[in-house]
Structure 1
Amino acid sequence: MKKNSPIEKPHFICIGSQRAGTTWLHECLSEHPDVFVPEQKELHFFNTHYEKGLEYYQSHFLEADENNKNLVVGEVTPNYYHDKTALLRIKEHYPNVKIIFILREPVSRAFSHYQLSSMGPFQGLSFKDAYQQFNVIKYLSNQSQHLQNVFEIFGNKHVLVKFYDDISKQPENFVSSVYKFIDVNVDFVPEKINQRINRIVLPDLQDKLNRLGLSFIIELVKKSPFSELIKKKFQGNSKTNNKNDLAEYKKDFTQDIEKLESLLGVNLEHWK
């Protein structure tokens, strides 16, 4: 298995989408014996910490070089997919990097986004109110333009596009296709393949820790016995709509979905 030179690490980056199973994928990648991802998910180098320089970024992968390990190296930061400046920076410094992009049905992604931020900027708002007042919810769910940017910058052959729904429907096939794309043993089955993993609903704190380079603290809490209690506590306080009422928002994404169908040559009628 041929690897890039050390200066070209990482070999792959999962760029998003937000609320599309990237934490689950990070855990599955971290278990693979031929893969190295930093324990800290979401390095945010290309969008938030770029001024710290490449040496800072490369420091997150030094552990992969210990004991002459021959590992495929990557990272997962789902904020990159909608940030064209970050994508161009990645291409500039790592022109051969492989990109993983997970798409999610736009309304369910939007609702999950709302739940994540229900104790942050959306506190006290119903989904309908948050959706109307914060354009970012719809912007991040309109994934076709972001995917087109990714294709134009990196080239289709360097991009693996997956669908969030397949994580629950076909988790083995999903993770195996990712392993194949990054050129590692596809027969390895991670222990957490059937475990649902979500971020804790503390968006403001997470954003502050990310800016300070301390997001590993959130990762430690997520892996603690208290994580599920915290999620239930804060998600229970959100003014959630009945999910059956979300169908009315689907019309807002019809054009975006049709563009995805054209870009990928797939049928996404079940999203409409």
Structure 2
Amino acid sequence: MRCRPFQHIGMMDLPDITDSEKGSIVLPNCYHIGAAKCASTWLYHACLEHPDIYSPPENDNLNFFLLHYDRGLDWYRSQYFGAVSEGKAIVDFSNAYMLSDIALDRIARDTPNARLTCLIRNPVDRAYLHWAHSYYKSSRPPADPATDSGNPLDAAVERPSGRTFAIPLEVVRHPNGWVWGRAWLEPGLYAAAIRRVQARFPEDRLRVFVYEDLLRSPEEFLSSYFEYLEVDPSFVPACINREINPDTEETDPARMTDDLRTQLKAFFRSDIEDLQRILDRDLSEWL
């Protein structure tokens, strides 16, 4: 089973999007499931600008099907989609879904006709960014919702001071560093994640996009993404050339030591090789 990567597609490739068969129950008909630190916040802002797409304007990481499913679909709908009008592509951005069997099972059961998208990048760089944003930005002031997807610690009554995640990335290779390995390395095991999705959804219900394609041509990238959602692919958002949640000199993956980069390449190698087969795409630049 092959999962097609970023490319232009015809509008007739998929059946029409439905929101529970276009009834009165409005739920998402598309889920952006990850991966974290792969420009999902930028893509979310692009979707907010598109007139034919609705995504909750106050949060780009709902994670309902993992964290709040016990509250029920009525709560989910009223909390996030009460303002939606019919005929739109309705997108839930939640990076946790890509890693969660439980969330994927619930999505498949409750919205079986939905589309899923994911955006991936070199997993070594992704791992460094995920760690660096925790290490170097954990002591930053409360997030600006106009530019940042937020820090959950901002919700604390007494927000911790200082670096909350002052843990070196090297701990992920220690036998007892598995909890950090799950946080920083596992999200980059894309082939394993895609196979979880494929076990629950038809092949044409998942579209995988690659970050390097976004860098080469943001316009073509967004056109393909919008086309997959069956909305106007010619729309160009104002944020197309704007950095959102920008990196700093400290969070640049180029700062990683050669030794650690070599170790992480070895860790991800077999998954990247499997990913090449799934996508039918050369990813040797990641190896």
Which band: TM-score by shorter chain? 0.7 to 0.9
- State the partner residue of 2:256: 243
Q: How does 1:38-77 map to 2 (within 5 A)?
A: 38-39=56-57, 40-59=59-78, 60-65=80-85, 70-77=87-94
- State the partner residue of 2:272: 257
Work out whether 1:135 is the aligned partner of 2:181.
yes
- Matched-pair contact (CA < 8 Å) for 2:17–2:114: no
Return closer, same or farther for 1:110/1:265 CA change in 2, 3 Å cut-off: same
Paired amino acid for 1:270:
E
Number of residues paired by the alignment? 235
Q: How does 1:115-126 map to 2 (within 5 A)?
A: 115-118=132-135, 119=138, 123-126=165-168
- Matched-pair contact (CA < 8 Å) for 2:26–2:77: no
Taking the aligned partners of 2:112 and 2:73, their CA distance within structure 1 comes to 14
Paired amino acid for 1:259:
D
Work out whether 1:80 is the aligned partner of 2:100.
no
CA deviations on 1:107-142 (whole Å, 9 max, x unpaired) are 001001101221389733332235542221221211
- Matched-pair contact (CA < 8 Å) for 1:97–1:158: yes
- State the partner residue of 1:109: 126
- Structure 1: gaps of 5 or more residues: 199-227
Work out whether 1:190 is the aligned partner of 2:237.
yes
Q: How does 1:199-210 map to 2 (within 5 A)?
A: none
Shift of 1:167: 2.0
Paired amino acid for 1:16:
G
The 10-residue stretch of structure 1 (111-120 or 175-184) with the greater mean CA deviation from structure 2: 111-120
Taking the aligned partners of 1:257 and 1:155, their CA distance within structure 2 comes to 22
Any idea what SS the aligned residue of 1:74 has?
strand
TM-score (norm 1): 0.79
- Matched-pair contact (CA < 8 Å) for 1:127–1:241: no
Shift of 1:41: 1.3
Q: Residue 210 of structure 2 is aligned with which of 151, 163, 174? A: 163
Q: Residue 12 of structure 1 is aligned with which of 6, 30, 33? A: 30
State the percentage of identical aligned residues: 28
- Matched-pair contact (CA < 8 Å) for 1:122–1:130: no
Taking the aligned partners of 1:122 and 1:167, their CA distance within structure 2 comes to 32
Work out whether 1:31 is the aligned partner of 2:43.
no
Taking the aligned partners of 2:164 and 2:224, their CA distance within structure 1 comes to 36
Taking the aligned partners of 1:241 and 1:259, their CA distance within structure 2 comes to 26
Any idea what SS the aligned residue of 1:100 has?
strand
Shift of 1:56: 0.9
- Structure 2: gaps of 5 or more residues: 1-10, 140-162
Larger proportion of helix: 1
- Matched-pair contact (CA < 8 Å) for 1:82–1:140: yes
Shift of 1:3: 5.0
Shift of 1:241: 7.7
Taking the aligned partners of 2:241 and 2:125, their CA distance within structure 1 comes to 20
- State the partner residue of 1:21: 39
TM-score (norm 2): 0.75
- Matched-pair contact (CA < 8 Å) for 1:11–1:98: yes
- State the partner residue of 1:92: 109
CA deviations on 1:242-266 (whole Å, 9 max, x unpaired) are 2362531212111000000111111
CA deviations on 1:121-169 (whole Å, 9 max, x unpaired) are 9733332235542221221211111111111211210111001222222
Taking the aligned partners of 2:17 and 2:191, their CA distance within structure 1 comes to 31
- Matched-pair contact (CA < 8 Å) for 2:26–2:81: no
Paired amino acid for 2:283:
L
Shift of 1:269: 0.5
Any idea what SS the aligned residue of 2:124 has?
helix
